[in-house]
Amino acid sequence: MSAFSKILLLRGGGRHYSAAAQTQLREILGTQLAGIKDAGTFKAERIITSSQSTQITVQGSEKRILNFCANNYLGLANNPEIVEYSRTLLEKYGAGLSSVRFICGTQDIHKQLEQKIAQFHGREDTILYASCFDANAGIFEAILTPEDAVFSDELNHASIIDGIRLCKAKKQRYKHRDLADLERQLRESDGRLKLIATDGVFSMDGNIAPLARIVELAKKYDALVFVDECHATGFFGATGRGTEEYDNVMGEVDIINSTLGKALGGASGGYTTGPSELISFLRQKSRPYLFSNTLPPAVVAVGLKVMDMLLASSELTQRVQSNTQRFRTAMTKAGFTIAGENHPICPVMLGDARLASKFADEMLTRGIYVIGFSYPVVPQGKARIRVQISAAHTEAEIDQAIGAFIEVGRSLKVIQ
């Protein structure tokens, strides 16, 4: 027995020595958890026992069900060609680097991926992070000072909100997609640098930032534009270049942050792409980059292969757009309220949290895997089923989901 194990035994078998404090913690959290359950907003995790795909299996059943709630927009999460390439680089480069980038954590494949991402977006350079949450956490604090000002859409993703909280700039929040409110704040600002921060696509509602008009305001008031493109990169816009392509302002956004963990293979990783001076500065000052392990080779391989595919063809991008139109048109015709714009995020609005949870459970019994979203993920009274369409869904699978929605909707009196 080790000396450490003997010490644990002497202290009571490894139990925390501050029993009263731990008891208090359990009671406080237990009360809050009970409240979450009573409100019908407790989020249970279903355990998937297969690879991520349009058809999956879940724990407790061998029956395959249709998955309509993944960020797997291009259907590449289990693409055989990508998996094989990832295996090849895993064998060549190893499991990981055991280091941050600037010490001994940069391989040639990391630089290759950064260059390909920059090429895809038409930017000068790119910096990789462990996630886009890290990319958002690492940019505002690094580049903004108390002399600067940042203007954030009130419905921006939590990672943007948290990243802005870390910086010392003057913080302004404008009403959701409200250009008049944004312009008023820009006009009144005396910030040295003015940075407008917005999601390109807002993930809970599937609606789109008015990017062309934001760019116009930025030019008028000498501001910079930052866009988080996590729910746009690779599949939104004519060739998958995201919101700036969709809104015809290609190359006019100053800073783009996005992810490798959604459409681009579904593994992990995020990035910032933009001017070379910005990227070089972030390598020196961005804390999540400086103090986090580098992306493992197998994950880098996924990004590399997906980038090659997207640079060569827009076929998958066009397919997800076609599938999206099919689902939205049929669901609206059936009487459902589908929020957002022509985007693969298709929120089926229900309002009540318990109804959303019940609706999702009923869909699962019919072989369709969707999730009910409720407060605090979305505002009170705006619970919904967030459906996400993939290029990998067949027309028959989309029609099957629509049929199940109609059947459950009628049984729960959501539609006639």
Alpha-carbon span 154 to 142, nearest angstrom: 22
Catalytic pick among 116, 231, 305, 343: 231
Name the DSSP class of 295: P
Q: How far is CA 9 from CA 6, 22, 154, 399, in A?
A: 5, 19, 52, 61
Active-site annotation holds for 5: no
Active-site annotation holds for 203:
yes
Q: Are 370 and 68 in contact, with CB atoms under 8 Å apart?
A: yes
Please check whether residue 369 is in contact with residue 65, taking contact to mean a CB–CB distance below 8 angstroms.
Answer: yes
Q: For residues 4 and 323, what is the distance between their CA atoms, to the nearest angstrom? A: 59
- Tokens coding 17: 């020595």
Question: Which of 53, 203, 286, 374 is labelled catalytic?
Answer: 203
Q: 329 vs 74, 258, 289, 338, CA distance in Å?
A: 20, 29, 43, 9
Q: Measuring CA to CA, which residue among 142, 73, 91 is closest to residue 301?
A: 91
Catalytic (active site) residue 231: yes
- 416's enclosing H/E stretch is none
Residue 211 CA to residue 328 CA, distance in Å, equals 23
Instruction: Name the active-site residue from 262, 343, 382, 393.
Output: 262
DSSP 296: P
Give the residue numbers marked as catalytic: 203, 231, 262
